[in-house]
Structure 1
Protein backbone atom coordinates (compact mmCIF):
# COMPACT_ATOMS: atom_id res chain seq x y z
CA UNK A 1 0.00 0.00 0.00
CA UNK A 2 1.28 3.51 -0.73
CA UNK A 3 2.21 5.72 2.20
CA UNK A 4 0.08 8.71 3.09
CA UNK A 5 1.68 12.00 2.04
CA UNK A 6 3.08 14.16 4.78
CA UNK A 7 1.44 17.52 5.44
CA UNK A 8 3.03 20.32 3.42
CA UNK A 9 5.60 22.45 5.27
CA UNK A 10 4.16 25.44 7.13
CA UNK A 11 5.68 28.00 4.79
CA UNK A 12 4.12 26.26 1.78
CA UNK A 13 0.71 26.06 3.47
CA UNK A 14 0.88 29.81 4.07
CA UNK A 15 1.99 30.45 0.49
CA UNK A 16 -0.84 28.27 -0.83
CA UNK A 17 -3.40 30.16 1.25
CA UNK A 18 -2.27 33.52 -0.17
CA UNK A 19 -2.07 32.00 -3.65
CA UNK A 20 -5.69 30.83 -3.31
CA UNK A 21 -6.71 34.38 -2.36
CA UNK A 22 -5.05 35.58 -5.55
CA UNK A 23 -6.74 32.91 -7.67
CA UNK A 24 -10.15 33.72 -6.17
CA UNK A 25 -9.72 37.42 -6.95
CA UNK A 26 -9.62 38.51 -3.29
CA UNK A 27 -6.15 39.89 -3.95
CA UNK A 28 -6.25 41.41 -7.46
CA UNK A 29 -3.18 42.46 -9.45
CA UNK A 30 -1.46 45.36 -7.72
CA UNK A 31 -2.88 44.55 -4.28
CA UNK A 32 -0.45 44.42 -1.39
CA UNK A 33 -0.09 41.05 0.30
CA UNK A 34 0.56 40.69 4.06
CA UNK A 35 4.05 41.60 5.12
CA UNK A 36 6.55 39.16 6.55
CA UNK A 37 5.88 40.59 10.01
CA UNK A 38 2.10 40.36 9.61
CA UNK A 39 2.28 36.76 8.41
CA UNK A 40 4.41 35.83 11.40
CA UNK A 41 1.82 37.34 13.77
CA UNK A 42 -1.29 36.00 11.99
CA UNK A 43 0.02 32.48 11.54
CA UNK A 44 2.07 32.36 14.77
CA UNK A 45 5.22 31.31 12.96
CA UNK A 46 8.82 32.48 13.04
CA UNK A 47 9.89 35.33 10.77
CA UNK A 48 12.10 33.03 8.62
CA UNK A 49 9.03 30.84 7.92
CA UNK A 50 7.04 33.92 6.89
CA UNK A 51 9.90 35.13 4.71
CA UNK A 52 10.13 31.75 3.00
CA UNK A 53 6.38 31.80 2.26
CA UNK A 54 6.74 35.13 0.45
CA UNK A 55 9.82 33.86 -1.34
CA UNK A 56 7.85 30.83 -2.58
CA UNK A 57 5.14 33.12 -3.96
CA UNK A 58 7.78 35.23 -5.71
CA UNK A 59 9.42 32.15 -7.21
CA UNK A 60 6.00 30.91 -8.42
CA UNK A 61 5.41 34.26 -10.13
CA UNK A 62 2.42 35.36 -8.06
CA UNK A 63 3.94 38.35 -6.28
CA UNK A 64 6.78 40.83 -6.59
CA UNK A 65 8.61 42.85 -3.96
CA UNK A 66 9.14 46.59 -4.28
CA UNK A 67 12.00 47.99 -2.26
CA UNK A 68 10.74 50.18 0.54
CA UNK A 69 7.07 49.56 -0.35
CA UNK A 70 6.15 45.93 0.29
CA UNK A 71 5.08 42.85 -1.67
CA UNK A 72 2.35 43.07 -4.30
CA UNK A 73 0.37 40.74 -6.55
CA UNK A 74 1.91 40.63 -10.00
CA UNK A 75 0.05 41.59 -13.14
CA UNK A 76 -0.24 38.24 -14.88
CA UNK A 77 -2.45 36.12 -17.05
CA UNK A 78 -5.90 35.91 -15.49
CA UNK A 79 -7.14 32.55 -14.16
CA UNK A 80 -10.56 31.06 -14.73
CA UNK A 81 -12.54 30.81 -11.51
CA UNK A 82 -13.34 27.16 -11.03
CA UNK A 83 -16.03 25.89 -8.67
CA UNK A 84 -13.58 25.06 -5.89
CA UNK A 85 -12.33 28.67 -5.78
CA UNK A 86 -15.89 30.01 -5.66
CA UNK A 87 -16.89 27.57 -2.91
CA UNK A 88 -13.95 28.57 -0.72
CA UNK A 89 -14.52 32.27 -1.37
CA UNK A 90 -18.20 31.98 -0.46
CA UNK A 91 -17.35 30.15 2.76
CA UNK A 92 -14.78 32.74 3.84
CA UNK A 93 -16.33 35.98 2.60
CA UNK A 94 -20.02 35.24 2.01
CA UNK A 95 -19.66 36.27 -1.63
CA UNK A 96 -19.18 34.03 -4.66
CA UNK A 97 -17.72 36.64 -7.00
CA UNK A 98 -14.91 39.15 -6.45
CA UNK A 99 -15.77 42.85 -6.96
CA UNK A 100 -14.82 42.90 -10.66
CA UNK A 101 -17.03 39.93 -11.61
CA UNK A 102 -20.78 39.60 -12.11
CA UNK A 103 -23.21 37.02 -13.47
CA UNK A 104 -26.14 37.39 -15.86
CA UNK A 105 -28.80 34.65 -15.81
CA UNK A 106 -29.87 34.02 -19.42
CA UNK A 107 -32.00 30.88 -18.98
CA UNK A 108 -34.02 29.28 -16.16
CA UNK A 109 -36.37 26.53 -17.30
CA UNK A 110 -37.35 22.87 -17.44
CA UNK A 111 -35.68 21.44 -20.52
CA UNK A 112 -34.86 18.09 -22.18
CA UNK A 113 -31.50 16.81 -20.99
CA UNK A 114 -28.60 15.93 -23.31
CA UNK A 115 -27.37 12.34 -23.08
CA UNK A 116 -24.26 13.18 -21.02
CA UNK A 117 -26.32 15.15 -18.47
CA UNK A 118 -28.88 12.33 -18.22
CA UNK A 119 -26.09 9.83 -17.52
CA UNK A 120 -24.45 12.10 -14.92
CA UNK A 121 -27.69 12.79 -13.02
CA UNK A 122 -29.17 9.32 -13.41
CA UNK A 123 -32.10 10.57 -15.50
CA UNK A 124 -33.76 8.36 -18.10
CA UNK A 125 -32.91 9.16 -21.71
CA UNK A 126 -35.32 11.74 -23.08
CA UNK A 127 -36.12 13.04 -19.60
CA UNK A 128 -36.25 16.64 -18.42
CA UNK A 129 -34.45 18.60 -15.72
CA UNK A 130 -34.19 22.12 -14.31
CA UNK A 131 -31.68 24.14 -16.33
CA UNK A 132 -30.00 27.41 -15.37
CA UNK A 133 -27.55 29.15 -17.67
CA UNK A 134 -25.49 32.20 -16.90
CA UNK A 135 -22.73 34.31 -18.41
CA UNK A 136 -20.04 35.49 -16.03
CA UNK A 137 -18.27 38.77 -16.78
CA UNK A 138 -14.93 39.98 -15.44
CA UNK A 139 -14.39 43.71 -15.92
CA UNK A 140 -17.45 43.61 -18.23
CA UNK A 141 -15.85 41.04 -20.53
CA UNK A 142 -17.48 37.56 -20.82
CA UNK A 143 -15.20 34.92 -19.32
CA UNK A 144 -17.49 31.93 -18.77
CA UNK A 145 -20.73 30.33 -19.91
CA UNK A 146 -22.09 28.09 -17.19
CA UNK A 147 -25.04 25.72 -17.64
CA UNK A 148 -26.26 23.96 -14.49
CA UNK A 149 -28.73 21.07 -14.46
CA UNK A 150 -30.75 19.73 -11.52
CA UNK A 151 -33.08 16.70 -11.35
CA UNK A 152 -36.72 17.71 -11.87
CA UNK A 153 -37.53 16.75 -8.26
CA UNK A 154 -34.94 19.28 -7.08
CA UNK A 155 -36.51 21.93 -9.31
CA UNK A 156 -39.89 21.30 -7.68
CA UNK A 157 -38.49 21.78 -4.19
CA UNK A 158 -36.35 24.77 -5.20
CA UNK A 159 -38.62 26.89 -7.45
CA UNK A 160 -36.21 29.84 -7.66
CA UNK A 161 -34.07 27.68 -9.96
CA UNK A 162 -36.67 28.42 -12.63
CA UNK A 163 -36.52 32.19 -12.25
CA UNK A 164 -34.03 34.36 -14.12
CA UNK A 165 -32.59 36.15 -11.13
CA UNK A 166 -29.57 35.82 -8.89
CA UNK A 167 -30.05 33.49 -5.95
CA UNK A 168 -28.50 34.61 -2.71
CA UNK A 169 -26.54 33.30 -0.84
CA UNK A 170 -25.73 31.08 -3.85
CA UNK A 171 -27.50 28.45 -5.91
CA UNK A 172 -26.01 25.38 -4.25
CA UNK A 173 -26.69 26.69 -0.74
CA UNK A 174 -30.28 27.43 -1.79
CA UNK A 175 -30.67 23.91 -3.20
CA UNK A 176 -29.31 22.43 0.04
CA UNK A 177 -31.72 24.51 2.13
CA UNK A 178 -34.69 23.71 -0.10
CA UNK A 179 -34.13 19.97 -0.41
CA UNK A 180 -32.43 19.07 2.87
CA UNK A 181 -29.69 17.36 0.86
CA UNK A 182 -26.15 18.45 1.74
CA UNK A 183 -23.42 18.64 -0.88
CA UNK A 184 -20.44 16.60 0.28
CA UNK A 185 -17.98 16.36 -2.61
CA UNK A 186 -17.59 17.17 -6.29
CA UNK A 187 -15.69 15.88 -9.30
CA UNK A 188 -14.35 18.04 -12.13
CA UNK A 189 -13.47 16.75 -15.61
CA UNK A 190 -11.66 19.04 -18.05
CA UNK A 191 -11.43 18.84 -21.81
CA UNK A 192 -11.09 21.12 -24.82
CA UNK A 193 -13.00 21.48 -28.08
CA UNK A 194 -13.95 24.04 -30.71
CA UNK A 195 -16.50 26.62 -29.62
CA UNK A 196 -20.02 26.42 -31.01
CA UNK A 197 -21.48 29.36 -32.94
CA UNK A 198 -23.50 30.40 -29.88
CA UNK A 199 -20.45 30.21 -27.61
CA UNK A 200 -18.39 32.30 -30.02
CA UNK A 201 -21.09 34.96 -30.00
CA UNK A 202 -21.55 35.04 -26.23
CA UNK A 203 -17.81 34.94 -25.46
CA UNK A 204 -16.97 37.34 -28.32
CA UNK A 205 -14.59 34.93 -30.03
CA UNK A 206 -13.34 34.72 -33.58
CA UNK A 207 -13.94 31.66 -35.74
CA UNK A 208 -12.52 29.12 -35.19
CA UNK A 209 -11.76 29.25 -31.47
CA UNK A 210 -10.96 26.56 -28.94
CA UNK A 211 -12.59 26.58 -25.51
CA UNK A 212 -11.93 24.83 -22.24
CA UNK A 213 -14.86 22.76 -20.97
CA UNK A 214 -15.23 21.72 -17.33
CA UNK A 215 -17.89 19.23 -16.25
CA UNK A 216 -18.63 19.73 -12.55
CA UNK A 217 -20.70 17.06 -10.77
CA UNK A 218 -21.79 17.57 -7.16
CA UNK A 219 -22.80 14.64 -4.92
CA UNK A 220 -24.74 14.62 -1.66
CA UNK A 221 -23.98 12.69 1.54
CA UNK A 222 -25.62 9.58 0.07
CA UNK A 223 -23.43 9.73 -3.06
CA UNK A 224 -26.41 10.82 -5.17
CA UNK A 225 -25.80 13.41 -7.91
CA UNK A 226 -27.24 16.78 -6.93
CA UNK A 227 -26.01 19.14 -9.64
CA UNK A 228 -24.28 18.86 -13.02
CA UNK A 229 -22.67 21.96 -14.50
CA UNK A 230 -20.90 22.49 -17.80
CA UNK A 231 -18.66 25.55 -17.76
CA UNK A 232 -17.14 26.87 -20.99
CA UNK A 233 -14.13 29.18 -20.86
CA UNK A 234 -12.45 31.21 -23.62
CA UNK A 235 -8.80 30.69 -24.64
CA UNK A 236 -5.97 32.75 -23.26
CA UNK A 237 -6.82 32.16 -19.59
CA UNK A 238 -5.26 29.43 -17.47
CA UNK A 239 -7.47 27.19 -15.40
CA UNK A 240 -5.52 24.84 -13.20
CA UNK A 241 -2.88 25.32 -10.54
CA UNK A 242 -1.72 22.90 -7.89
CA UNK A 243 1.22 22.63 -5.54
CA UNK A 244 1.99 19.18 -4.16
CA UNK A 245 4.89 17.21 -2.67
CA UNK A 246 6.93 14.86 -4.82
CA UNK A 247 8.05 11.75 -2.99
Structure 2
Protein backbone atom coordinates (compact mmCIF):
# COMPACT_ATOMS: atom_id res chain seq x y z
CA UNK A 1 0.00 0.00 0.00
CA UNK A 2 1.47 3.43 -0.94
CA UNK A 3 2.39 5.87 1.78
CA UNK A 4 0.25 8.95 2.37
CA UNK A 5 1.63 12.12 0.77
CA UNK A 6 0.96 15.26 2.74
CA UNK A 7 0.73 17.52 -0.36
CA UNK A 8 -2.52 15.88 -1.52
CA UNK A 9 -5.61 15.41 0.68
CA UNK A 10 -5.55 11.91 2.08
CA UNK A 11 -9.04 11.02 0.90
CA UNK A 12 -8.15 12.00 -2.69
CA UNK A 13 -5.03 9.86 -2.64
CA UNK A 14 -7.11 6.88 -1.59
CA UNK A 15 -9.86 7.61 -4.11
CA UNK A 16 -7.31 8.04 -6.93
CA UNK A 17 -5.58 4.78 -6.02
CA UNK A 18 -8.85 2.84 -6.23
CA UNK A 19 -9.89 4.78 -9.35
CA UNK A 20 -6.67 3.72 -11.10
CA UNK A 21 -7.40 0.10 -10.22
CA UNK A 22 -10.84 0.43 -11.80
CA UNK A 23 -9.55 2.27 -14.89
CA UNK A 24 -6.84 -0.38 -15.42
CA UNK A 25 -9.45 -3.09 -15.13
CA UNK A 26 -7.92 -4.64 -12.01
CA UNK A 27 -11.26 -4.25 -10.25
CA UNK A 28 -14.11 -5.66 -12.32
CA UNK A 29 -17.74 -4.49 -12.55
CA UNK A 30 -19.71 -5.88 -9.63
CA UNK A 31 -16.61 -6.44 -7.50
CA UNK A 32 -16.86 -5.21 -3.93
CA UNK A 33 -14.31 -2.61 -2.92
CA UNK A 34 -12.92 -2.15 0.60
CA UNK A 35 -15.29 -0.80 3.24
CA UNK A 36 -14.73 2.35 5.28
CA UNK A 37 -13.33 0.22 8.09
CA UNK A 38 -10.96 -1.67 5.77
CA UNK A 39 -9.73 1.52 4.13
CA UNK A 40 -9.17 3.16 7.49
CA UNK A 41 -7.07 0.21 8.65
CA UNK A 42 -5.11 -0.31 5.43
CA UNK A 43 -4.29 3.36 4.93
CA UNK A 44 -4.01 4.29 8.63
CA UNK A 45 -6.58 7.07 8.36
CA UNK A 46 -9.70 8.04 10.29
CA UNK A 47 -13.10 6.62 9.30
CA UNK A 48 -14.40 10.04 8.09
CA UNK A 49 -11.43 10.24 5.68
CA UNK A 50 -12.24 6.76 4.36
CA UNK A 51 -15.88 7.78 3.97
CA UNK A 52 -14.88 10.87 1.94
CA UNK A 53 -12.75 8.68 -0.35
CA UNK A 54 -15.68 6.36 -1.07
CA UNK A 55 -17.98 9.31 -1.65
CA UNK A 56 -15.50 10.80 -4.16
CA UNK A 57 -15.65 7.54 -6.12
CA UNK A 58 -19.46 7.58 -6.00
CA UNK A 59 -19.60 11.17 -7.27
CA UNK A 60 -17.40 10.17 -10.23
CA UNK A 61 -19.83 7.36 -11.03
CA UNK A 62 -17.22 4.65 -10.53
CA UNK A 63 -18.88 2.81 -7.64
CA UNK A 64 -22.30 2.36 -6.11
CA UNK A 65 -23.38 1.57 -2.57
CA UNK A 66 -25.92 -1.15 -1.86
CA UNK A 67 -27.78 -0.78 1.39
CA UNK A 68 -26.83 -3.44 3.90
CA UNK A 69 -24.27 -4.95 1.54
CA UNK A 70 -21.32 -2.76 0.63
CA UNK A 71 -19.80 -0.65 -2.15
CA UNK A 72 -19.26 -2.12 -5.61
CA UNK A 73 -17.66 -1.18 -8.93
CA UNK A 74 -20.43 -0.03 -11.22
CA UNK A 75 -21.41 -2.07 -14.23
CA UNK A 76 -20.05 0.02 -17.15
CA UNK A 77 -23.16 0.16 -19.31
CA UNK A 78 -22.07 3.60 -20.41
CA UNK A 79 -20.53 4.19 -23.79
CA UNK A 80 -16.76 4.00 -23.50
CA UNK A 81 -15.51 7.50 -22.77
CA UNK A 82 -12.47 8.79 -24.63
CA UNK A 83 -11.28 10.53 -21.45
CA UNK A 84 -10.87 7.17 -19.70
CA UNK A 85 -8.88 5.82 -22.64
CA UNK A 86 -6.52 8.80 -22.58
CA UNK A 87 -6.00 8.29 -18.85
CA UNK A 88 -5.10 4.64 -19.36
CA UNK A 89 -2.81 5.44 -22.30
CA UNK A 90 -0.86 8.06 -20.39
CA UNK A 91 -0.67 6.24 -17.07
CA UNK A 92 -0.47 2.60 -18.11
CA UNK A 93 0.55 2.59 -21.80
CA UNK A 94 -2.67 0.99 -23.07
CA UNK A 95 -6.12 2.30 -23.91
CA UNK A 96 -8.27 -0.71 -23.00
CA UNK A 97 -9.15 -2.08 -19.60
CA UNK A 98 -7.93 -5.58 -18.77
CA UNK A 99 -10.02 -8.14 -20.67
CA UNK A 100 -11.20 -5.69 -23.34
CA UNK A 101 -9.63 -5.58 -26.79
CA UNK A 102 -10.09 -4.22 -30.31
CA UNK A 103 -9.90 -5.83 -33.72
CA UNK A 104 -8.75 -3.58 -36.57
CA UNK A 105 -10.97 -4.34 -39.56
CA UNK A 106 -9.22 -2.03 -42.02
CA UNK A 107 -6.52 0.66 -42.14
CA UNK A 108 -6.16 2.52 -45.42
CA UNK A 109 -5.78 5.89 -47.14
CA UNK A 110 -8.98 7.08 -48.84
CA UNK A 111 -10.48 10.24 -50.28
CA UNK A 112 -11.80 12.37 -47.43
CA UNK A 113 -15.59 12.60 -47.15
CA UNK A 114 -16.65 16.24 -47.04
CA UNK A 115 -17.65 16.22 -43.36
CA UNK A 116 -14.35 14.59 -42.37
CA UNK A 117 -12.33 17.04 -44.46
CA UNK A 118 -14.15 19.97 -42.86
CA UNK A 119 -13.72 18.61 -39.34
CA UNK A 120 -9.98 18.04 -39.83
CA UNK A 121 -9.60 21.45 -41.54
CA UNK A 122 -8.11 19.91 -44.70
CA UNK A 123 -8.06 21.23 -48.24
CA UNK A 124 -10.37 20.04 -51.01
CA UNK A 125 -9.50 16.66 -52.53
CA UNK A 126 -7.55 15.78 -49.38
CA UNK A 127 -6.73 12.18 -48.54
CA UNK A 128 -7.17 10.73 -45.07
CA UNK A 129 -6.32 7.64 -43.07
CA UNK A 130 -9.38 5.56 -42.22
CA UNK A 131 -8.89 3.08 -39.36
CA UNK A 132 -11.95 0.95 -38.64
CA UNK A 133 -12.19 -1.23 -35.54
CA UNK A 134 -14.59 -3.20 -33.36
CA UNK A 135 -14.06 -3.18 -29.59
CA UNK A 136 -15.02 -6.22 -27.54
CA UNK A 137 -15.68 -6.83 -23.87
CA UNK A 138 -15.02 -10.31 -22.51
CA UNK A 139 -18.32 -9.98 -20.63
CA UNK A 140 -20.63 -8.31 -23.17
CA UNK A 141 -19.10 -9.16 -26.55
CA UNK A 142 -18.91 -6.35 -29.17
CA UNK A 143 -19.57 -2.99 -27.49
CA UNK A 144 -18.28 -0.43 -29.99
CA UNK A 145 -17.81 -0.01 -33.74
CA UNK A 146 -15.61 2.95 -34.58
CA UNK A 147 -13.62 4.73 -37.27
CA UNK A 148 -10.67 7.07 -36.75
CA UNK A 149 -9.83 9.64 -39.42
CA UNK A 150 -6.42 11.35 -39.68
CA UNK A 151 -4.59 13.47 -42.24
CA UNK A 152 -2.94 11.08 -44.76
CA UNK A 153 0.24 13.21 -44.64
CA UNK A 154 0.91 11.65 -41.24
CA UNK A 155 1.59 8.24 -42.79
CA UNK A 156 5.12 9.26 -43.80
CA UNK A 157 6.15 9.57 -40.14
CA UNK A 158 3.46 7.32 -38.63
CA UNK A 159 3.34 4.21 -40.89
CA UNK A 160 1.54 2.10 -38.29
CA UNK A 161 -1.62 4.09 -39.01
CA UNK A 162 -2.15 2.08 -42.19
CA UNK A 163 -1.37 -1.33 -40.72
CA UNK A 164 -4.15 -3.59 -39.44
CA UNK A 165 -2.51 -4.14 -36.10
CA UNK A 166 -3.51 -2.70 -32.76
CA UNK A 167 -1.72 0.38 -31.50
CA UNK A 168 -1.62 -0.47 -27.82
CA UNK A 169 -1.41 3.09 -26.51
CA UNK A 170 -3.91 4.48 -29.04
CA UNK A 171 -3.60 6.45 -32.27
CA UNK A 172 -3.49 9.87 -30.59
CA UNK A 173 -0.65 8.88 -28.28
CA UNK A 174 1.21 7.29 -31.19
CA UNK A 175 0.89 10.42 -33.33
CA UNK A 176 2.05 12.54 -30.39
CA UNK A 177 5.17 10.40 -30.02
CA UNK A 178 6.21 10.45 -33.69
CA UNK A 179 5.31 14.06 -34.53
CA UNK A 180 5.90 16.00 -31.31
CA UNK A 181 2.38 17.46 -31.55
CA UNK A 182 0.60 17.26 -28.21
CA UNK A 183 -3.12 16.75 -27.75
CA UNK A 184 -4.61 19.52 -25.62
CA UNK A 185 -8.39 19.11 -25.58
CA UNK A 186 -11.26 17.32 -27.29
CA UNK A 187 -14.81 18.05 -28.42
CA UNK A 188 -17.58 15.45 -28.34
CA UNK A 189 -20.92 15.45 -30.11
CA UNK A 190 -23.54 12.81 -29.37
CA UNK A 191 -26.53 11.79 -31.46
CA UNK A 192 -28.75 8.81 -32.22
CA UNK A 193 -29.57 7.21 -35.56
CA UNK A 194 -30.27 3.84 -37.17
CA UNK A 195 -27.37 1.44 -37.56
CA UNK A 196 -25.94 0.71 -40.98
CA UNK A 197 -25.96 -2.92 -42.07
CA UNK A 198 -22.25 -3.22 -41.30
CA UNK A 199 -22.63 -1.67 -37.84
CA UNK A 200 -25.54 -4.01 -37.08
CA UNK A 201 -23.36 -6.99 -37.99
CA UNK A 202 -20.37 -5.71 -35.99
CA UNK A 203 -22.46 -5.13 -32.86
CA UNK A 204 -24.67 -8.22 -33.18
CA UNK A 205 -27.83 -6.15 -33.39
CA UNK A 206 -30.83 -8.25 -34.27
CA UNK A 207 -33.51 -7.21 -36.72
CA UNK A 208 -33.73 -4.24 -39.04
CA UNK A 209 -33.74 -0.59 -38.05
CA UNK A 210 -31.76 -0.96 -34.81
CA UNK A 211 -31.04 2.35 -33.09
CA UNK A 212 -27.48 3.21 -32.08
CA UNK A 213 -25.71 5.99 -30.19
CA UNK A 214 -23.05 7.88 -32.13
CA UNK A 215 -20.11 9.81 -30.70
CA UNK A 216 -18.21 12.23 -32.90
CA UNK A 217 -14.95 12.95 -31.12
CA UNK A 218 -12.39 15.50 -32.32
CA UNK A 219 -8.99 15.91 -30.67
CA UNK A 220 -7.11 19.22 -30.99
CA UNK A 221 -3.42 19.91 -30.40
CA UNK A 222 -1.87 22.80 -28.47
CA UNK A 223 -2.04 24.96 -31.62
CA UNK A 224 -5.82 24.40 -31.83
CA UNK A 225 -5.39 22.24 -34.94
CA UNK A 226 -7.45 19.03 -35.33
CA UNK A 227 -5.31 15.96 -34.65
CA UNK A 228 -7.84 13.13 -34.99
CA UNK A 229 -11.53 12.80 -35.75
CA UNK A 230 -13.25 9.63 -34.56
CA UNK A 231 -16.77 8.27 -34.88
CA UNK A 232 -17.83 5.62 -32.39
CA UNK A 233 -21.11 3.72 -32.57
CA UNK A 234 -22.67 1.97 -29.57
CA UNK A 235 -25.61 -0.42 -29.15
CA UNK A 236 -28.74 1.00 -27.53
CA UNK A 237 -28.04 -0.40 -24.06
CA UNK A 238 -24.94 1.79 -23.67
CA UNK A 239 -26.06 5.12 -22.22
CA UNK A 240 -23.87 8.16 -22.82
CA UNK A 241 -24.71 10.79 -20.27
CA UNK A 242 -25.86 10.92 -16.68
CA UNK A 243 -26.40 13.77 -14.27
CA UNK A 244 -27.80 14.12 -10.80
CA UNK A 245 -29.69 17.21 -9.71
CA UNK A 246 -32.35 18.44 -7.31
CA UNK A 247 -35.98 18.67 -8.46
CA UNK A 248 -36.98 20.88 -5.52
CA UNK A 249 -34.73 23.88 -6.11
Shorter-chain TM-score category?
0.7 to 0.9
Write the distance in 2 (CA, Å) between the matches of 1:224 and 1:183.
9
Q: How does 1:1-247 map to 2 (within 5 A)?
A: 22=22, 25-37=25-37, 39-40=39-40, 46-54=46-54, 62-64=63-65, 71-73=71-73, 76=75, 78-139=77-138, 141-205=141-205, 206-241=207-242
Separation of aligned partners in 2, 1:89 and 1:128: 30
Aligned residues: 236
Query: Normalising by structure 2, what TM-score?
Result: 0.79
Distance in 1, Cα, partners of 2:20 & 2:239: 14
Report deviation, 1:64: 3.8
* Partners of 2:23 and 2:97 within 8 A in 1: no
Decide whether the 8 Å contact of 1:167 with 1:174 is kept in 2. yes
2-side partners of 1:24 and 1:189: how far apart?
26
**CA drift at 1:134:** 0.6
Q: 1:116 to 1:38 in 2, by over 3 A?
A: farther
Partner Cα distance (1:221, 1:65) in 2: 43
User: Deviations 1:152-202 (Å, cap 9, x if unpaired)?
Assistant: 221222011010001233322211111111111111111111111111111
Structure 1 residue 62 displacement after superposition: 3.3
* Cα gap change, 1:166 to 1:51, in 2 (>3 Å): same
1: distance between equivalents of 2:40 and 2:191? Answer: 41
State the secondary structure of the residue aligned to 2:97: coil
The more displaced of 17-26 and 182-191 is 17-26
Structure 2 runs not aligned, ≥5 long: 1-8
CA distance in 1, matches of 2:151, 2:62: 42
Q: Structure 1 residues 58, 132: closer, same or farther in 2, change over 3 A?
A: closer
Alignment root-mean-square deviation, CA = 3.5
Partner secondary structure for residue 137 of structure 1: strand
- 8 Å contact kept, 1:23–1:79: no
The whole-number CA distance in structure 1 between the counterparts of 2:232 and 2:202 is 13
Give the deviation of 1:26 after TM superposition. Answer: 4.5
For residues 192-221 of structure 1, the C-alpha deviation after alignment (integer angstroms, 9 at most, x for no partner) is: 111111111111112111111111111111
In 2, the alpha carbon distance for the partners of 1:58 and 1:168 equals 29
